[in-house]
Chains A and B, each alone.
Chain A
Amino acid sequence: MPDTAYETNDSHDDFDKGRRDFLYMATGAMGAIGAAAAVWPFIDSMNPAADTLALSSIEVSLAPIEEGQSVTFKWRGKPVFVRRRTAAEIAEARAVPVGDLIDPESDDDRVKDGKDEWLVLVGVCTHLGCIPLGQKAGDVKGEYGGWFCPCHGSHYDTSGRIRKGPAPLNLPVPPYEFLTDTQIKIG
């Protein structure tokens, strides 16, 4: 074997061996950090782009919506449900004890102060992302008079809270504010 001299040198020199191990580990660690740093831009490029993020707010006029009527708007590519609730629907939503809910949240916290009739929700089922029924007059509204998701059978009440079925959470309330009494800005 031609490398006998090299082997002898290696096995007898402990100091050299320790130094070599250190160099080996340091090179490996630097390589791993470098590779991770190089991979990050590629991973992050798959996150939402700047123009996608820029389209993140809309203004909506509430004037044409009658009591008891629901209207769907498109926000961030998703439907936003705006329902002008009847007094009976509000009463129904407030009658249920909060502690009995799957995702406990009082109706008060889901509407703006003094604007009890206006319920604004992201209309995407929290189970696997289907659009629940209940916006149109003839739709099935589920056992609690709100919305019903046809995909896997989740029932939402008149406050958009999950009451029955596989969905774990209430329909989320998007960030929005009243600009005037009949104008809201979502996002």
Chain B
Amino acid sequence: MSNPEFSNPIVKWVDYRLPIFSMMHHELHEYPTPKNLNYFWNFGSLAGIVLGIMIVSGIVLAMNYTAHIDYAFDSVERIMRDVNFGWLIRYIHMNGASFFFIVVYIHMFRGLYYGSYKAPREILWILGVVIMLLMMATAFMGYVLPWGQMSFWGATVITNLFSALPIIGEYIVTWLWGGFGVDNATLNRFFSLHYLLPFAIAGVVILHLAALHQHGSNNPLGIDIKKKGDTIPFHPYYTIKDLFGLGVFLTIFVAVIAYAPNYMGHPDNYIPANPLVTPSHIVPEWYFLPFYAILRAVPDKLFGVLAMFAAIAVLFVLPWLDRSPIRSAKFRPVYFIFFWVFLADCILLGYCGAMPAEQPWVLISQLATAYYFAHFLIILPVLGLYERPVDLPLSISGGSPDEDAPAAQAAE
């Protein structure tokens, strides 16, 4: 790391004692980034920004929220009606959760398409899956807080998943509830954990970034950086591109908050929780639907729960299931097809999850579940052995990988 010369004496004084300016210079300005990143590489920084939006809006909401079964629903209604801009802050937080998952799911499918999980980025990918799991837990507990009908029954169904475990299941569920059902103790602990987990996510994000900066970003060609001409500094080139993407994102986000703030929610959650009446059709938030479909596809309680958790667990070992040394789907003609089939399968599962547990949806979700696992456990390992990849380019900027062609540099 070459330490830059700072002209500002205060910056110089601070940097000598705490080298944050050197670090920022190193990680942002010097940090070499492949010059061919497309717009799918915007979603990582976008996810970080949405996390920030969620933490800030959440802290403000917590100032007016009451975590008690008799007051929670009314305190949320008070935020909506009486607190200055409370409606706006709550809609930002509510829709922010959905947009967080949209951004992260695109970010993950980007990783799947371009093989970003392959060596040497396996830990980077695994940390990402950990972040997704923490997000799911946080989103689930946050959804319980308004204490509407969907909050209550969503919490009941999800906590009951653990009762499927043999012998210890019942004890675990009672322990999770702090009682004999979802009740005040449950609401209180969910609020406590809902406030805690985003900071845990932020911690894992820092590890995710540290792992990213070790080997740098993957790129659409999926080949390594061979020479200086393959890269450009992160700042200002990608800071400005990320900012442009953020502008587009915020335009869509604000449009939804302004014109369709309840589009992704359920009307039943505006009915206060009633422990004696289950809504006729319980559906989780849209971002859980594919996993919910997998849960319901298996007719056995324990194996349904195990299949649902396995659907996420399989992502942890993905870097070792995909045996192909080629990263990008651009150069893997067969994987290219299976990638899109897999994406369609995930969307189909999501659709099945929203449908009632009747035929033909049960059968369709069973087939889609089987395909989901086949993709990871059969198709990917076999493709690694038999697929003939297309010839890779020699380097990102073309030409010989050994030398920096002056012509290529001039073209930048």
Interface window among B107-115, B175-183, B210-218 = B175-183
A151 in contact with B157 (CB, 8 Å)? yes
CB contact between A74 and one of B182, B276, B296 (< 8 Å): that residue:
B276
A131 in contact with B175 (CB, 8 Å)? no
Rounded to whole Å, the gap between the CB of A60 and the closest CB of chain B is: 15
Interface string of B249-286 (1 = CB under 8 A from A): 00000000000000000000000000111101110000
Which A residues are CB-close (under 8 A) to B278?
130-131, 149-151
Which B residues are CB-close (under 8 A) to A129?
156-157, 159-160, 163, 181
Interface string of B286-319 (1 = CB under 8 A from A): 0000000000100111001000000000000000
Number of interface residues of B (CB under 8 A): 33
**Docked complex: B175-218 residues within 8 A CB-CB of A:** 175-183, 185, 189
A74 in contact with B301 (CB, 8 Å)? no
Q: Which residue of chain B has its CB nearest to the CB of A153?
A: B357
Which A residues are CB-close (under 8 A) to B161?
128
A150 in contact with B180 (CB, 8 Å)? no
Q: Which residue of chain B has its CB nearest to the CB of A72?
A: B276
B174 within 8 A of A: yes
Given contacts A48-B179, A74-B275, contact A130 B157 (CB under 8 A): yes
A180 within 8 A of B: no
A114 within 8 A of B: no
B357 in contact with A167 (CB, 8 Å)? no
Given contacts A52-B185, A131-B278, A168-B301, contact A46 B178 (CB under 8 A): yes
Residue numbers of A with Cβ under 8 A of B are 43, 46-49, 52, 72, 74, 76-79, 124, 127-131, 149-153, 166-168
What are 24 of the A-B contact pairs (CB < 8 Å)? A46-B175, A46-B189, A47-B174, A48-B174, A48-B178, A48-B179, A49-B185, A52-B178, A52-B179, A52-B180, A52-B185, A76-B181, A124-B181, A127-B301, A128-B160, A128-B161, A129-B157, A129-B159, A129-B181, A131-B277, A151-B153, A151-B157, A152-B357, A166-B304
In the complex, given contacts A48-B185, A129-B159, A129-B181, what are 14 additional A-B residue pairs having Cβ atoms less than 8 angstroms apart? A46-B178, A48-B179, A52-B179, A74-B276, A76-B180, A77-B181, A78-B181, A79-B276, A124-B181, A127-B301, A128-B161, A131-B276, A150-B280, A151-B157
Residue numbers of B with Cβ under 8 A of A are 153, 156-157, 159-161, 163, 174-183, 185, 189, 275-278, 280-282, 296, 299-301, 304, 357-358
